Amino acid sequence: MFLTPRQEEIVQLARLHGRVLVDELSNRFTVSPQTIRKDLNDLCDRQLLNRIHGGATFPSSTENMQYEARRQIAAQEKQAIGLAAAALIPNNASLFINIGTTTEAVGEALTKHQEMMVITNNINVANRLRLLPSIEVIIAGGVVRASDGGIVGEAAVDFIRQFKVDFAVIGASAIDADGALLDFDFREVKVAQAIIANARHVILVSDSTKFERTAPVRIAQITQVHTFITDHCPVPSLRRICTESGVALIETDTIPKTFV
């Protein structure tokens, strides 16, 4: 279900310019307009783009894409980020894992860890890790969002506040150049804030497409995390903030593939 390299680039172009046109894409990739139309129809069926006459547009920044569609964006980058985050977390640790497709990649990368306690408001993470006898899974109570299986609301916040864990793994829907971590659902944001406040070491995981998006609700500032793992950080102001604030910036594109 992964996107082809051409489809990945089409999504990136739509995100950058707001829309893409069939004729322009046909010339850019040296393929027929019919091939581009098939690509656009596929991307729109996955709800990554919205079809218009002669092309497609990128969804509004006030809308979040469907969860299954988000899984397919930068899938290989998310896998590498997940492996890099898991490498920082030792056996016998306790941790929070929040909602998100990149945080799920971290959960997948933890399957060989031993004697861990994982507290999560992500049903997808819980379903994967509960099968492993070496990992104890504790799931938050609250309202289950039908769109992604995330558990949100005040009950989830109160539940999380009972714990003080070694690590927290969080994501964000968008990251501003000033270091603001942003999301779409204020209920999810409250859960993320509780997770940050109750972990000794906070790991932010986010692929580089999040630098090109916006979202309306503030989670926190990047200065509130300890480690930021991404495939690549092209924003100079964010690199400077990380350096000045002592946030460890790990870019998986610079790590030899044998280690991630």
Q: What is the pLDDT of residues 185-211, one digit of tens each?
A: 888 899 999 999 999 999 999 999 899
- Half-sphere exposure for 20 (CA within 13 Å, toward CB): 33
| Residue 260: predicted pLDDT | 47
**Quick check: 91 pLDDT over 90?**
yes
Tokens of 240: 């400077």
CA nearest neighbour of 86 among 123, 128, 51, 53? 128
Q: How far is residue 257's CA from residue 121's CA, in Å, rounded to a whole number?
A: 31
Domain boundaries, the chain: 5-59, 70-259
CA nearest neighbour of 95 among 134, 40, 64, 136? 136
Strands 94-97 and 165-170: parallel
Lowest mean pLDDT, pick from 20-29, 46-55, 237-246: 46-55
| Residue 84: predicted pLDDT | 97
> Starting at the edge strand that comes first in sequence, how are the strands of the sheet with 50-52 ordered?
19-21, 55-57, 50-52
Q: How far is residue 27's CA from residue 39's CA, in Å, rounded to a whole number?
A: 14
More confident: 110 or 72: 110
Decide if 5-59 and 70-259 have a common fold.
no
Strands 165-170 and 199-205: parallel
**Quick check: 74 pLDDT over 50?**
yes
**Quick check: 28 pLDDT over 60?**
yes
Of 3.40.50.920, 3.40.50.150, 3.40.640.10, 3.40.50.1360, the CATH number of 70-259 is: 3.40.50.1360
Domain 5-59 grouped into CATH 1.10.10.10: yes
pLDDT, tens digit, 9 for 90 and up, residues 30-66 = 999 999 999 999 998 887 888 888 899 887 654 455 5
